[in-house]
Amino acid sequence: MDIVEMDKEYVLHSYARNETSFIKGKGAKLYSDDGKEFIDFASGIGVSSVGHGNERLSSAICEQAKNIIHISNLQIIEPQARLAKRVVELSGYDMRCFFGNSGAEANEAALKIARKYGEREFEQKRFKVITLKYSFHGRTITTVKATGQEQMHKSDFSPYPDGFGYVDSIDAIYEAIDDKTVAVMIELVQGEGGVEPFDKDEVKALAKFLKKEGLLLIVDEVQTGVYRTGEFLASNLYEIEPDIITLAKGLGGGVPIGVAMTSLKDIFEPGDHGSTFGGNYLSTRAGLEVVDILEDEYKSGNLKEKIDYFSSYLDRVSKSMPELFVSSVGVGLMRGLRVKDANTQGKIINEAFKKGVIVLKAGRNTVRFLPPLTITKEEIDEGFKRFEEVLINI
């Protein structure tokens, strides 16, 4: 039985999978079992933030694995305490962290924090969280309901938890707030929804309004966090002070980890929340190394240089092919090309893959780019050389 057959036979079919199997990775390059080389402009959906086969990350993980991988949250976990300190200090906010294993779990923790705040702070409990129509917050039964996209609330999996309201835009949030509303949860740059950065002034005004009303602002930075937008957090870029921020994708460089951090530092008491695996030695040691690597890239100016270099390619491609593209969108290394229609979007992504460059879809009309933050100029050159060859034939 070959691997493709094995996958089909034994793995539940919840993904529309491409059948390529990768067997080697180095930096932003991946190699499939039939010997083909790919430039990875997707980093496993924004996860492999320091590239594949990163020496510093892999040695840190190996060293940790040879010692302790896991004990439990019943004891102090040294790298967890250290990573919490690092993440809080880099964020610039006065917060504490809860560790889980994924973006959805980080958002679940955020929602529990908001619900408890709603119970404690108001005479009549407030529990409703307002989110945006094209948001994406996860796949658990609660976070999928928090996700505003109607087609994600399949009746197959109903009933869903109550307590969510959806609006089309930041502007529409104000009117949607009622006497049950406790929080607003947004991404600052929508990822799955189509690489859509919101207007900074609108977001700042919303943050100010919520603070004044005593309502919480939850920023889902699962995709935007950990330098993806060029700053440690997109919240830093937007100059706001959220009450709760969630992180996951890029933080572990591929090792599963999620964080909910909050300025409500005493909201949880023992027993309120927990996770068996969350924040264990392995994942937090990985997180520490990733944060160190990326802070070096940030401080040295390398990250900014890479962002400018990548951007200039996207702008050029977008402008030189008006018959395919409407615009170049996004911030930092969370970027997209708005394509004129969904058909063209699918065709570009599939053809690019055949030519050895991996890009992602976002929404119905965006080709998304989430390259490793440590990508080299040579890798960017090679990726766009292949990508532009693809476009000529679309």
Ligand X SMILES: *Cc1c(COP(=O)(O)O)cnc(C)c1O
3-state per-residue secondary structure call for the chain: CCHHHHHHHHCCCCCCCCCCCEEEEEECEEEECCCCEEEECCHHHHCCCCCECCHHHHHHHHHHHHCCCCCCCCCCCHHHHHHHHHHHHHHCCCCEEEEECCHHHHHHHHHHHHHHHHHHHCCCCCCEEEEECCCCCCCCHHHHHHCCCHHHCCHHHCCCCCCEEEECCHHHHHHHCCCCEEEEEECCEECCCCCEECCHHHHHHHHHHHHHHCCEEEEECCCCCCCCCCCCCHHHHCCCCCCEEEECHHHHCCCCCEEEEECCCCCCCCCCCCCCCCCCHHHHHHHHHHHHHHHHHHHCCHHHHHHHHHHHHHHHHHHHCCCCEEEEEEECCEEEEEECCHHHHHHHHHHHHHCCEECEEECCCEEEECCCCCCCHHHHHHHHHHHHHHHHCC
Q: Does residue 193 interact with ligand X by CB under 6 A?
A: no
Q: Which parts of 234-253 interact with ligand X (CB under 6 A)? A: 248-249
Could you give the string, one character per residue 114-153, with x where binding to ligand X holds by CB under 6 A and - elsewhere? ----------------------xxx---------------
Please identify, using beta-carbon distances, which residue of 157 and 343 lies nearer to ligand X. 157
**Min CB(52)–ligand X separation in Å:** 19
Of the candidate residues 64, 102, 284, 366, the single one contacting ligand X (CB under 6 A): 102
**Min CB(355)–ligand X separation in Å:** 26
Q: Does residue 281 interact with ligand X by CB under 6 A?
A: no
Given the rule CB under 6 A, which of 96-104, 169-177, 195-203, 342-350 is the region that contacts ligand X?
96-104
Q: Does residue 104 interact with ligand X by CB under 6 A?
A: yes
Of the candidate residues 25, 44, 79, 103, the single one contacting ligand X (CB under 6 A): 103
Please identify, using beta-carbon distances, which residue of 246 and 318 lies nearer to ligand X. 246
Q: Which parts of 334-353 interact with ligand X (CB under 6 A)? A: none
Please identify, using beta-carbon distances, which residue of 91 and 107 lies nearer to ligand X. 107
**Min CB(222)–ligand X separation in Å:** 4
Please identify, using beta-carbon distances, which residue of 79 and 256 lies nearer to ligand X. 256
Given the rule CB under 6 A, which of 35-43, 76-84, 89-97, 187-195 is the region that contacts ligand X?
187-195
Q: Does residue 260 interact with ligand X by CB under 6 A?
A: no
Q: Does residue 223 interact with ligand X by CB under 6 A?
A: yes
Interaction site with ligand X (CB under 6 A): 102-104, 107, 136-138, 187, 191-192, 220, 222-223, 248-249
